Every structure is written in structure tokens, then in C-alpha cells.
Structure 1
Amino acid sequence: MVFLQLPKVTKKTQQREGQFLYHLDLDCFFAAVEIREDPELAGKPVAVGGNRETRHGVITSCNYIARKFGLHAGMPINKALDLCPDLICTGRHHSLYRDVSDNIMSILSSYTDEIRVASIDEAYLNLTSEVENEYGGDPLPLAKQMKTEIYEAEQINSSIGIGPNTTIAKIATGEAKPDGIKFVPPDTIIEFLTPLSVRKMSGIGPKTTESLKRR
């Protein structure tokens, strides 16, 4: 089943207030799957990708323990090992990641047909009618239910951001990590965004950030 062909969360739905749009992201997804498969990796700095012996390659994903050393996706493994000498590097198992992702996206699709899969580890859902009709306008119980169902099925943690549009929902997810939920009601958007770096906005990178700082 390919949910990428069902992009019902559209630009029009992004703009309407009074909606409950959810963004769900699987925390450190590739690394989380590797740790699930090998429980002895739990509690240790783990990165997917790269070769310890040759010190070649780049990190595809790393867990939060590794991130405390400054590691991140895209970092050359040579630099990563300098920052974290005890880093454990695993191979990539893409078919396994896809199977886990497909199962999780199937779980999400059981909540609504208004789902857009953004990547192997994230999706947007429009759950406005469900929240209003079944939960009295409170979006948090449904988010908790989704997280619990995903963890029970695949032992993978997830974070969820909820807002009136997909941009706010995605930023909220970043603030909810790891393994949390963040709801931003429409009347709190300015308060929510004000203390955040402009880097939180999709499409704004280091160069644009520096340019904005000079203005």
C-alpha cells in the first residue's frame, strides 16, 4: 500500500484555522530500528552508516546519546569518531526500515484517509473531524493513542506536533522531541514562534539565517 499517492493534506487545508493537523516523526528512525534489533546497543552511542575501520562514509542516522557529542546525519564518520571515540557504527538495512515504516504508516492510515507520507519516517494527518467529533476538541488523547499503538507494534518512539497548519505542526514536532507531543493552538502561534530561531522554518538554512541577522 503506497500512501504517497494520497496527499489529501493540501495547501488549502494548511491555511484554514480551526483544524487539527498532526505531524508525526519517528525518532532517530534508522538508529532506533538497529537498536531494537540488537538490544545490546541500548544506552550506547549508535550511528547508522560509515565504517569505523576505514573511517570512511557519513552518518545516515544516530541516536540521541550520539547527538550529545555533536553528531548528526550527514557528518563524515571520521569527524564523528573524533568527537565520539566509542561510537558504534552499524550497517544500513533499508528493506527492514521500509517494512517497519510501511507497518507504521498503515497504523496511521487507520485513523484517517487524509494522510500525506512525507518520507520514510514522517507523515502529516488531518484529524480535525476525529478530534472534534470523538474527543471534544482535545487533540492530545488521540496523539497519545497513536504513539502508544506505534510503540506496541514496532517498539519505535515517535514525536507529534499539532497545529492549525502543517508548518506549525512540523515545527512543533521538533520542539516535542524526543518522544513527546506539542500542541500549538491558533491563538498561541506568535507566542510559540517568537523565541525560536528562524532556522526552525523549513527552507531556511545557514546562509539565509546569517543574512537575516544582518538586517
Structure 2
Amino acid sequence: MQTTTPPPLRKIIHIDMDAFYASIEQRDFPELRGKAIVVGGSPEGRGGVVATASYEARKFGVRSAMPSKKAQQLCPEAIFVRPRFDVYKEVSRHIREIFHRYTDLIEPLSLDEAYLDVTEDKLQIGSAIEIAKLIKQAIKDELQLTASAGVSVNKFVAKIASDLQKPDGLTFIGPSGVEAFMEKLAVEKFHGVGKVTADKMKRMGLYTGADLKKLSESDLVQHFGKTGRFYYRIVRGLDDRPVEPHRETKSMSAEDTFAYDLTTIDEMNEALDKIAQIVHTRLLKYNLKGRTVTLKIKYSDFRQITRNQSFPQPFNDLQTILSTAKQLLLGTDPEDKKIRLLGVGLSNFGEILPPSNGQQLELF
């Protein structure tokens, strides 16, 4: 009988920068070092949103995506800093260059984190742990920043591992230890399990991976839908998703939350001018053309809608994007409405589609 040799175990590293935006601000402005700083919108007026916070601010409970007003209440001494995305992108580019010294199998998740497959590394080092150490040291030497790394045999476990010893951590979960590690893990630590799902699990008496493991796949699907199949596999340490260096871009969008509600069409159109320009610049940078323009609106009561219009041929010119967004806005009868946020996106970079009838499309 012919036997087949199983494929070698993969060596996956997940790199996650520590308090990325805040750390860059503290690096570039010595007077901010050791201080509780919040990068994001100002708490003045209606208030913005926290993009990230320094570890000094996190001790007070300040977290990403939190309203800036709440962050100020939790940490009155916090210093609020406006984001400098051009600087963050340049630092991210340098970090990516460091990654490429060891592998080209890199899947960026955002400016500050990425998966690397080093099963076969360029320098033939052979050890994923050693490569992670070298990457962390290069980031520290060349950029004066720290990163945390998780090393394991698949993406899911590597991502969880990178969060275990922050900041400046390195955690290795070897193949023989993956299943035991997943059994001990609290359900709220599972990447992708939010607060609502975690609360539901706990009401069912499910507190750890070991508890989840007692349920059959059909039981998990019954309670959690198709995601239940993912839970069934991952609690057993099974994740065969490859690192995807050329993951397809599905959409390109930008949005803005305003300090005060927009109430006139002139104000809304002026905001769309700026937002559409950002989208247009990004499209040119990545040489993308799409067929569907989508408008996102969030009102002062937090009600949210999206509207879209599709075209038969791809485009990326600013005039078409902007005029379509403004027409979609008029179609929502915006006069005297209070608008908190506007967003514009372009999608459908693939097959040619017939013109749409304006049905909703969730882009954002």
C-alpha cells in the first residue's frame, strides 16, 4: 500500500506592534514619554473616538474605539493627540521591509500587525522563534519601537499568542502544546468571540476551550450558526488557512465623523468633497478601478444607512465618484436631517456588472 508523507508543519509568526500610534508619538515627542496619551479625536464638542492609547492610559481602562469623552472621564490627565497617519504609514512600510528580509509570505492585517509564514525562510535560519527575535530586535534598533510576537503552527494560535505577554513579548506555542493551550483558554480570549457571544457562551456554562470541546460540531452550529464549525476546529488546534500575501482588495473607502452634526446640503457636499478625494488618492496609489460607489450615512441618533450605484464599466475618476455620492445623498432626502458621519467607497473590482437599481451594499 502506498503511503503519503504528511506536509510539514507550518511555522507561523504573528507580529503585533505595541500601542503603535501612541508609541510613535512618544518616540517623536520626548515630552510625551511616560505620559498617559490618547491618539484620536478630541473630547471637546460632541467628541471623537480613541484610535489607540499608551500603556499609561490603558491602566485607567482607556481602550481603542472608545468615545474620547469616556476616555477623558476615565483618565482626566490624558493628553489627546491628533493622529499623523502619514507618519504611521511610513513606519509601517519600514516594518514591512524588515519582514521581507526573512520571507515574502506576509499577510498584513493593518498598519501595525501581520502574519508571516517562515516555514521556508530566505536566510535558511530554520527557527521561527529565532526569526521572531531578530525581527523584534531590528524593529527596536531601527525604529525605536517594540513589537510582540506569537509563534505557532497556524494563524489562529499565533495571533492569540502574540497578545499574551505584551508589551515586547514573545510567546511560542509548539505543536504538542496547541490543543492543551486551547483547552485552557478563556472563551473571551478566542479571536473573533466578542462580548455578546462570550456572554452567551457563559450562560450556557461554557467558560474555556475545554468546555467548548465537550460539544459536538452540530451542537455548536445549532447555537452559533456556521461559526460553530470554526469553533469546533479551532478548539482542537486545527486551522489550515494559509498566509495570503496577495489577499484581494474588496473595497476602498473613507469616512469622517464630524465634531458637530451636519444639517445643510452645502455642509454635506463639502464633506463629501474631502472624503471622495481621499478615496480617489488611495485608488490611484493601488491602481484600482471599481464599478460600485457606496454612500454611508450615520445620523445623530446613530441610525445608519448605506446606498449604492453600480456601473457597467470600471472607473476611478474623482468626478464620477463624487457626483454619484452626491446623487445618492440627495436620494435620502437629507434636508434638515442631522448627520453625524459620512463615508464613500468604491468596490466591485472584479467581474463586469449590470447597472444596479440602488440596493443597499454593506461596504464599511
Query: Could you tell me how far apart the structure 2 residues matched to 1:210 and 1:161 are?
Result: 27
Query: Could you tell me how far apart the structure 2 residues matched to 1:75 and 1:152 are?
Result: 32
Q: Report if the CA contact (8 A) 2:101-2:122 is conserved.
A: no
Q: Report if the CA contact (8 A) 2:12-2:115 is conserved.
A: yes
For residue 18 of structure 1, what is the aligned residue in structure 2? Answer: 9
Compute the displacement of 1:178 (Å): 1.1
- Relative to structure 1, the CA distance from residue 52 to residue 33 in structure 2 (aligned partners, 3 Å threshold; closer, same or farther) is same
19, 27, 31: which is aligned to 1:28?
19
Compute the displacement of 1:53 (Å): 4.5
Q: Report if the CA contact (8 A) 1:161-1:176 is conserved.
A: no
For residue 5 of structure 1, what is the aligned residue in structure 2? Answer: none
43, 47, 61: which is aligned to 1:56?
47
Write the letter of the residue equivalent to 1:41.
L
For residue 150 of structure 2, what is the aligned residue in structure 1? Answer: 161
Pair 1:45 & 2:36 matched: yes
Query: Could you tell me how far apart the structure 2 residues matched to 1:134 and 1:59 are?
Result: 40
- The secondary structure found in structure 1 opposite 2:149 is strand
Pair 1:140 & 2:129 matched: yes
Query: Could you tell me how far apart the structure 2 residues matched to 1:130 and 1:92 are?
Result: 35
Q: Report if the CA contact (8 A) 1:55-1:77 is conserved.
A: no
- The secondary structure found in structure 2 opposite 1:130 is coil
Query: Could you tell me how far apart the structure 1 residues matched to 2:122 and 2:190 are?
Result: 26
Q: Report if the CA contact (8 A) 2:151-2:161 is conserved.
A: yes
Instruction: Determine which structure has greater relative contact order: mean sequence separation of CA pairs < 8 Å that are 6+ residues apart, divided by chain length.
Output: 1
For residue 192 of structure 1, what is the aligned residue in structure 2? Answer: 181
Query: Could you tell me how far apart the structure 2 residues matched to 1:175 and 1:152 are?
Result: 23
Compute the displacement of 1:132 (Å): 11
Write the letter of the residue equivalent to 1:159.
S
Higher mean C-alpha displacement, 173-182 vs 185-194: 185-194
- The secondary structure found in structure 1 opposite 2:15 is strand
Pair 1:207 & 2:189 matched: no
Pair 1:77 & 2:65 matched: no
163, 169, 173: which is aligned to 1:174?
163
Pair 1:129 & 2:129 matched: no
Please give the TM-score of this superposition, normalised by the length of structure 2: 0.52
Write the letter of the residue equivalent to 1:148.
Q
For residue 248 of structure 2, what is the aligned residue in structure 1? Answer: none
- The secondary structure found in structure 2 opposite 1:194 is helix
Extract unaligned runs of 5+ from structure 2: 1-6, 205-364
For residue 95 of structure 1, what is the aligned residue in structure 2? Answer: 86
Per-residue deviation, residues 146-205 of structure 1 (Å, max 9, x unmatched)? 101011111111000011100000000111311110000011112222332212222211
Q: Report if the CA contact (8 A) 1:17-1:164 is conserved.
A: no
Pair 1:106 & 2:97 matched: yes
Q: Report if the CA contact (8 A) 2:13-2:128 is conserved.
A: no
Query: Could you tell me how far apart the structure 2 residues matched to 1:79 and 1:55 are?
Result: 11
Q: CA RMSD in A?
A: 1.8
Decide which structure has the larger Cα Rg and report it.
Answer: 2
Higher share of residues assigned helix: 1
Query: Could you tell me how far apart the structure 2 residues matched to 1:152 and 1:211 are?
Result: 45
Q: Report if the CA contact (8 A) 1:17-1:186 is conserved.
A: no
Matched residues, number: 198
Q: Report if the CA contact (8 A) 2:102-2:131 is conserved.
A: no
